[in-house]
Amino acid sequence: EVQLQASGGGLVQPGGSLRLSCAASGFTLDDGVIGWIRQAPGRERELISLISRSDSSTYYADAVKGRFTISDDNAKNTVYLQMNSLKPEDTAVYYCAADSLVRDWRRSGVYGMDYWGKGTQVTVSS
């Protein structure tokens, strides 16, 4: 059974940091595209970062560029999202997802994801 498990969320003060993890089981993350998507209450899902597993090239939404870093660990079959300088507007449920049908993040997006993990809540508040 293919599963993605996101973890690492929590409550953090503005300006703080968190690292989210996305662990895969049932398949390897050697190929395809892995993404982090977030959804705040009353808002649509927002694609915030992608990584192409073939060459580790990355994409960031403007809202998180310079603050968030996506990375991967082949040995652990895990993708990470390091989030620094967090803001209250970063509060959301964060999901990791995989697009197994493309190799380049430029050909992927929220609607291309065919595997989704359960979300992890990130709350940024003082």
30-72 tens-digit pLDDT: 778 999 999 999 999 999 999 998 899 999 999 999 999 999 9
Strand-by-strand arrangement of the 3-7 sheet: 3-7, 18-25, 78-83, 68-73
**DSSP assignment, residue 23?**
E
Q: Contact, 70 vs 36, CB < 8 A?
A: yes
The per-residue pLDDT for 29 is: 65
What's the whole-number mean pLDDT along residues 100-111? 91
What percent of the chain has pLDDT above 90? Answer: 79
